[in-house]
Amino acid sequence: MPGVKTTEVECEKCGHRFEATVIDHVDLTEDRDLLKKVKSGKVNRVQCPKCKKVMFLQRSIVINFEPESLIVLYDPAATDSERREELERDYKTVVTYNEVLEEIGEEIDFRIISDLTELKKLVTTYEKNHS
C-alpha cells in the first residue's frame, strides 16, 4: 500500500478549498498497480467536490525501486540547484539519524528527478526488468 496523507487543495477552477488524500510514497514492489500512473505523472489525481474539476497535483513523491537499491524523489519543482541541494540535505539528515539508517543510506542510490521523461525511462526499465 502506498504512503498517503491528507492535504488541503484549492480548486484551480472555482477556488474551493477541500481536503484530499494524496500519495507521497510508492514502493514499486508492493504498488505495481501504480506503475502506469507514476510513468504518466498522474499519481495524485483529485476532484473538486464543488465543481467536479479534475486536477493532477504537481507535488513531490518518493519512489522506491526495490530491488534496484534506488530511491527517487520525483519533484517537478526541483529544477534549480538550490532546491535540489535542500532536498539532498534533507535526505542526508534522515539517513544520518542513526547507525542503521546510515548503513542503508550508503547502499542506496538516491536521485532527485524533476523531469517526467527521465522518470518515465526509469519506470519503463524497471517494468521490463521485473515483470
Q: Is the pTM of this model over 0.75?
A: yes
58-96 residue pLDDT tens: 889 999 999 999 999 999 999 999 999 999 999 988 888
d(CA 113, CA 75): 6
Region label for 52, one of left (φ > 0), alpha (ψ between -120 and 50) or beta (otherwise): left
The total domain count for the chain is 1
**21-42, pLDDT tens digit by residue?**
999 999 998 888 888 888 887 8
57-89 core/surface letters (b: 16 or more CB in 10 A; e: else): bebebbbbbeebebbbbbbbebeeeeebeebee
pLDDT at 61: 93
1 — pLDDT class (breaks 50, 70, 90): low
Q: What does the alpha-carbon distance between residue 58 and residue 42 come to, in Å, rounded to a whole number? A: 9
Task: Quote the domain boundaries for residue 23.
Answer: 3-129
